[in-house]
Structure 1
Amino acid sequence: MTTHTPVFTERYLLSPDMIADPYGHLDALRDHAPVHWSPLHHAWLVTGYDQVMRCLRDPAVSADRVRPLMDAVPQGAREDAERAFGILSRWMVFNDPPEHRRLRQVFQEAFAARAVARYRAFTEKATRAVLARRATPGRTGDLLADVARPLPALVFARWLGIPPTDGPSFWYWNTRVADLVLGTAQEESEYRASLQALVSLDDYLGALVARRRAEPGDDLISQVLREGRVGDSVTEEEFTGMLTQMAFAGGETTSNLIANTVLALHTRPGQLAAVRAEPELAQGAVEETLRLDGPSKMSIRTAARDLDLDGRTLRAGDRIFLVTAAANRDPARFPDPGRFDVRRSGATHLGFGFGAHFCIGAALARLVAVAAVRTLVCDHPGLTLTDPGRPAWQPSLLNRGLTALPVHY
């Protein structure tokens, strides 16, 4: 009797069904070939946990994404792109060692767990204030717009030292920068607006750095300036460019993490009950969301030189998609990987990356997300999803974020 191996059919990762739920396809792809050349995406799709870890550790795998982003600029927007991509070239996440290490060290002390812990009381107070104002019991609303976006914005603005009067412009620029960096589908006019937003954000933060030099405060910019590395190990232009990265990453990632965790819990009554019974399990809920349905689906890399990976030869210049959304569900690493378990322990997930490129803001993102989830779950027992079966997701290759989360408070 002849047996036939099932044929694997690749799917476009930006098609509506893949945006809605990519996980079944990604699981099948990982089982088919954890290192797979995709003619459809013109890239290697790396979906196995061990293989993604190898790439995150291998210096032959480069984080420089500025050139590929430049290549994707619509023809009519190229004149606007030069300065914007000069700013992106100063983001530490788009640099390899030793440049990455030099840039990252400027923020190392400010992002240490002990430094972030100073914002715990403010974060908890801000959480209660936002919920009291926007999540009134009996009201119907959008949890993403009401809570998940404004809360991180409030905390990160305080942390960066953004005056409240500048908040609306600051967060508008951030939203447009997110569209640019995360590959959200845009028309050419929108793309040009996103490029200009990045330039405006850089100009604003440059002026704020100058102001904090003259009038130091209790914020990240003032702290780093006091340490004396700006003008020494990094230029002021590099420092300002990295601040645009901090501003972008802090709001978008944490907002999506809060909303995705609330969705995960409210579609799993047993897990929701567990967190209500033991509020400290809010931390486990956030970690499990980072693993199972986190705010980042993948990161893009480039082969700096030829390398062998899992028996496949990746050539210098090849694009590589490190699909952490698949690696975090690898059954070789996570028992019963499709199960959401707030008490899960064991293998380290890759929701915040790993190694040199581990997310420097992870401690602050976790602080804000856990405070929001714990308060929503424990202090708002009447919270329900109004349409739990049909969440709508942003059309992005890289991030996993809801467009809205309708709820009854």
Structure 2
Amino acid sequence: MTTTATEPTTEPTTEPATEPTTALTTAHATATGFTERYLLSPAVNADPYGYLDALRDHDPVYWSPLHRAWLVTGHDPLMRCLRDPAVSAERVRPLMDAVPEGAREDAERAFTILSRWMVFNDPPEHRRLRQVFQDQFAARAIGRYRGLVERAARAMLDRRAAPGGAGDLVADIARPLPALVFARWLGVPPAHGPSFWYWNARVGDLVLGAAQEEREYRTSLQSLCNLEDYLADLVRQRRAEPKDDLISAVLAGGRIGTSVSEEEFVGMLTQMAFAGGETTSNLIANTVLALLRNPEELAAVRDDPGLVPAAVEETMRCDGPSKMSIRTAARDLDLDGRPVRAGDRLFLVTAAANRDPARFPDPDRFSVRRGSGSPSHLGFGFGPHFCIGAALARLVAVSAVEVLVRERPGLALGDEPLAWQLSLLNRALTALPVRY
């Protein structure tokens, strides 16, 4: 459950989920021995790491004719992009350009809301917006929710995952636990949960590129507006009657109406709402999958539950919930000798950088004993856009995994094949069949 476990960063794609071929890519493959592949082809989407390793080895800063973007896969050049102010996070315009003509009349308000998301802003605007939430996302503030999260995880496990039974860990635990915790933290009453999470899912379709048809775009755009209306009303209620939740705490800080307008605050709350469950859900599922695929590591965690946080961090490095983020060059720049031009898109492929052997020894091995002395992964980003919700994501994921491995000693993978959501950015299982 993250309250922003990661910053959503993607653009819709209308390209087919097959591998386009062109004379350019064929000639390139013949000349160098490397064949570029489409990142949304089902095979690469299901298991991207072998291809990403080959791409990074071939060229860590590669111009992709297929994706019309620079694919940055090396750890060092990716870090330079995250540090360079010429590499901009502003990309609302490309999102809007993808909307079908017939749905444009609904889009103006929705994209005004998106323009207030701090993830789509560069410093100093990003810093001004982020400071409003900084204290509430600090580890010390998040830590007071530990008991709530552990109790919720245990109750959910007892209710949905009977020992010896079969189930889907995504539907049983990984998705509903972050949603429950985040709604409580934000202050959304349980009775409003179904509408709240429906709107969030449809906003995800828009921001993560799942919306393709005009009808889907209309639904997503209207859902974002509905979400803003709902949260604006919740802010008004908390002004009149504060409670123990995020909105009340931020209002009490005195920044709303001074350094940040109320419209900006509500707009940022829609970002928090959208990011609140997706990334942490994926982190829980991917961590459990990694442990079940590596029995020695699972045994180590069972013997020493103090290793659960290390397992979550290793998942963030090795198979995290986000594969990449998308940036745009604000001006011409040189990146490892490559002439990046103003307006060029850059795909910052953290999934490849986190397995760069120049940075991480034995990078393809999942090990819960890598230790705190190992280099830091980029799963939560870096610099100004480091995930503001990292502490909450870690808290929920660690609690869920710890309860699972401690209280379900028979936990094992089911027999059904795994399927991954088709996504340029997210690394998300559609289901995780298990035996409890």
TM-score range, shorter chain: over 0.9
Secondary structure at 2:136's aligned position in 1? coil
Q: Using the alignment, how far apart are the partners of 1:23 and 1:192 within structure 2?
A: 35
Query: 1:364 maps to what in 2?
Result: 392
Q: Using the alignment, how far apart are the partners of 1:116 and 1:60 within structure 2?
A: 33
Secondary structure at 2:134's aligned position in 1? coil
Query: 1:169 maps to what in 2?
Result: 195
Query: Equivalences for 1:111-122 in 2 at 5 Å?
Result: 111-122=137-148
Residue 398 (str. 1) matches residue 425 (str. 2): yes
Q: Using the alignment, how far apart are the partners of 1:104 and 1:268 within structure 2?
A: 38
**8 Å CA contact retained: 1:291, 1:328:** yes
**8 Å CA contact retained: 2:211, 2:220:** no
CA deviation string 1:93-128 (max 9, x = no partner) = 100000000000000110111100111111111111
Structure 1 window deviating more from structure 2 (283-292 vs 175-184): it is 175-184
Residue 408 (str. 1) matches residue 435 (str. 2): yes
CA shift for structure 1 position 84 = 1.1
Secondary structure at 1:110's aligned position in 2? helix
**How many residue pairs align between the two structures?**
405
Question: What is the Cα-based RMSD across aligned positions, in Å?
Answer: 1.2
Q: Using the alignment, how far apart are the partners of 1:176 and 1:138 within structure 2?
A: 35
CA shift for structure 1 position 69 = 0.8
**8 Å CA contact retained: 1:183, 1:398:** no
Secondary structure at 1:342's aligned position in 2? coil
CA deviation string 1:117-175 (max 9, x = no partner) = 11111111111111111111122211101100110011101100110100111111111
Q: Which runs of 5+ in 1 are unaligned?
A: none
Residue 14 (str. 1) matches residue 40 (str. 2): yes
Query: Equivalences for 1:204-243 in 2 at 5 Å?
Result: 204-243=230-269
Residue 63 (str. 1) matches residue 124 (str. 2): no
- In structure 2, which of residues 397, 408, 411 is the aligned counterpart of residue 380 of structure 1? 408
CA shift for structure 1 position 74 = 2.1
CA deviation string 1:149-202 (max 9, x = no partner) = 110011101100110100111111111112221223643322221121111111
**8 Å CA contact retained: 2:72, 2:78:** yes
Q: Using the alignment, how far apart are the partners of 1:215 and 1:90 within structure 2?
A: 26
CA deviation string 1:229-275 (max 9, x = no partner) = 00000010100010111111120000000011111111111111111
Secondary structure at 1:109's aligned position in 2? helix
CA shift for structure 1 position 5 = 7.7
**8 Å CA contact retained: 1:387, 1:406:** yes
- In structure 1, which of residues 20, 23, 29 is the aligned counterpart of residue 49 of structure 2? 23
CA deviation string 1:356-403 (max 9, x = no partner) = 000000000000000000111111111211136x31011110111011
Secondary structure at 2:370's aligned position in 1? coil
Query: 1:106 maps to what in 2?
Result: 132
Residue 194 (str. 1) matches residue 220 (str. 2): yes
Task: Write the letter of the residue equivalent to 1:154.
Answer: L
Query: Equivalences for 1:10-409 in 2 at 5 Å?
Result: 10-184=36-210, 186-345=212-371, 346-387=374-415, 390-409=417-436
**8 Å CA contact retained: 1:184, 1:394:** no
**8 Å CA contact retained: 1:184, 1:397:** no
Structure 1 window deviating more from structure 2 (96-105 vs 378-387): it is 378-387
**8 Å CA contact retained: 2:83, 2:383:** yes
Secondary structure at 2:204's aligned position in 1? helix
Task: Write the letter of the residue equivalent to 1:10.
Answer: E
Q: Using the alignment, how far apart are the partners of 1:82 and 1:309 within structure 2?
A: 35
* Aligned structure 1 segments of 4 or more residues deviating by more than 6 angstroms: none
**8 Å CA contact retained: 2:350, 2:379:** yes
Q: Using the alignment, how far apart are the partners of 2:211 and 2:133 within structure 1?
A: 32
Give TM-score scaled by structure 1 length.
0.97
CA shift for structure 1 position 24 = 0.7
**8 Å CA contact retained: 2:100, 2:213:** no
CA shift for structure 1 position 72 = 1.5
CA deviation string 1:260-299 (max 9, x = no partner) = 1111111111111111001111111110111111110000
Secondary structure at 2:347's aligned position in 1? strand
CA shift for structure 1 position 76 = 2.2
CA shift for structure 1 position 408 = 1.6
Task: Write the letter of the residue equivalent to 2:36.
Answer: E
Q: Using the alignment, how far apart are the partners of 1:244 and 1:267 within structure 2?
A: 36
Secondary structure at 2:334's aligned position in 1? strand
**8 Å CA contact retained: 1:394, 1:401:** yes
Secondary structure at 2:62's aligned position in 1? strand
Q: Residues 385 and 185 from structure 1, CA distance in 2 versus in 1: closer, same or farther, beyond 3 angstroms?
A: farther
Secondary structure at 1:325's aligned position in 2? helix
Which protein has greater RCO, CA pairs closer than 8 Å, 6+ apart? 2
**8 Å CA contact retained: 2:178, 2:277:** yes
Task: Write the letter of the residue equivalent to 1:383.
Answer: L
CA shift for structure 1 position 34 = 0.5
Secondary structure at 1:329's aligned position in 2? coil
Secondary structure at 1:243's aligned position in 2? helix
Q: Which runs of 5+ in 2 are unaligned?
A: 1-29
CA deviation string 1:307-357 (max 9, x = no partner) = 000000100000010000000000000000000001113111000000100
Query: 2:4 maps to what in 1?
Result: none
Q: Using the alignment, how far apart are the partners of 1:399 and 1:387 within structure 2?
A: 24
